[in-house]
Amino acid sequence: MRIIIIGAGEVGYNIANRLSAEHKRVTVIDKDETAIRRLAENLDVQTIKASGSNPKVLTEAGIQEADILLAVTDSDEVNIMTCLLANFIAPGIKKLARVRNAGLAPFHQRFKEENPKIDTIINPETEVVGTIRRLMNVPGAVDVGYFVEGLVNYAGVRINAKSKLAGIKLVNFSSGLGENHPLIAAIIRNNQVIVPRGNTRFMEGDLVYFVCEKKSLAQNLKLFGITPHPVKNALIIGGGRIGERLANVLSSEGIKTKIIESNLERCHALSTKVGNSVVLHGDGSDQTLLLEEDIHLSDVVISVTNDDETNILVSLLAKNMGVRDTVTRIGKTNYLPLLPAIGIDKVVSPRLSAISSILQSVRKGEVLSDISIFGERGEFIEAVALDASPITATPLKNVPFPKGALLVCVIRNGQVVIPVGDTIVNPGDRIILFAVKQAVKKLEKLLAVELGPS
């Protein structure tokens, strides 16, 4: 598979890193010499220092022989123009574009159907708002999401010193819980992703990811000592695009919402855009201001400024001042493994959201969703089992799953099946798998027949 990426910023760099590690042929185009040099020195990819919206550059980069074009610069206009040119030069290429301007949202469907015929439009900020809202629903969980239009949920929960599960083997945990017991997909321990087996023990400090039917999520959370509580009051630090979108979502649901924004001009603009939310001018890391606003009465504090250090500081302050739940926006992905050590578990990243959306479209087979966890060291993959796939028509115990990969569940005719060794996946079944980063390429071959070089 040959992929051309326009934009060598954080999203472009990280997706190039992921795809090149899977031995896909990647070309990255950017006019920023520093960004291009960083790629050339660290990754096994072809780099071109030029404008990605130049038709001559696209042609010389081999766009007519490429399979996918990813336009992920920081400029919506450049991304859209690049896709428009690609549509003229290589009409058959699959096109993905990052488009963040909310004003362009009404035109997304026309962009897909008419010109520039963009196959997938990615707005990571919208997806981050959705992620924050899901995290707010389950205060005790570190991570929450869903598959199959919400029929199946996953959750990441921390095993603390008081947990009754600490020291228990997985096989003993699962026995006696009945058919609605959660399937443990992954354990994060000492910055390592573990795909557990029956004799794996839960340990204090583990971050455990499990998958279950939506209807049994609350019941399964109780097994880990977590009881969800409704959110009535929220405090948002940062009134940028994410803060604005989130405030509108929360206020529309009847949640009392305040935004603290440091830019006075932005405060005036927000006051006309965020409905019933209260907009305050000030420094979100100012303890005096937080005390004046009775921060301890907030059910959740969400810090989404454009400065990672400020977001981290605010979340630590909020916890120290009695706030039950915090959500922290992080842009630098290399920070992610360090945050649990200082007590920050609930983290959202626009860049990781963008990467997950891109991977969903790049994967072979009929992949429906692709969700990265723990700084992209593991992936949940939701897909449709194809007729020619090696994963179908044979008992799972005979399927050559790569080390570090696991079939989590099978959805057949609207019913969720927790697989065992004798389970047979049928063509057309929806399946959810988990894999560590190193196993993804091999797992991909189980999802589809190779149609050409990758």
Ordered domains of the chain (ranges, CATH) = 2-122 (3.40.50.720), 233-352 (3.40.50.720), 353-447 (3.30.70.1450)
Per-residue pLDDT at 447? 79
Per-residue pLDDT at 377? 80
What pTM does this model have? 0.83
Chunk the chain into consecutive blocks of 10 residues (it has 454) and report each block's average pLDDT, rounded to whole numbers: 93 89 90 94 95 94 95 95 95 92 88 90 89 88 87 91 86 71 89 89 92 89 85 96 94 95 96 92 95 94 96 96 94 82 88 80 75 81 87 90 91 88 92 90 72 37
Per-residue pLDDT at 179? 62
Residue in 238, 218, 220 with CA at minimum distance from that of residue 230: 218
pLDDT tens figures, 161-212: 778 888 889 888 877 666 667 889 999 998 889 999 889 999 998 999 999 9
Per-residue pLDDT at 364? 63
- Tell me the β-bridge partners of 380: 371, 434
What b-and-e string marks burial along 92-127, b requiring 16 or more CB atoms within 10 Å of the CB?
A: ebbbbbbbbeeeeeeeeeebeeeebbbebbbbbbbb
Per-residue pLDDT at 3? 94
Cβ neighbours around 170 below 10 Å, total:
18
| Spacing of C-alpha 227 from chain mean position | 24
pLDDT tens figures, 24-56: 899 999 999 999 999 999 999 999 999 999 999
SS3 at position 316 = helix
Rounded CA separation 209/365 (Å): 25
Rounded CA separation 9/37 (Å): 12
Rounded CA separation 123/72 (Å): 10
| Per-residue tokens: 322 | 């009695």
* Cβ-proximal residues to 336 (8 Å cutoff; 6+ apart), any chain: 330, 347, 349, 374, 375
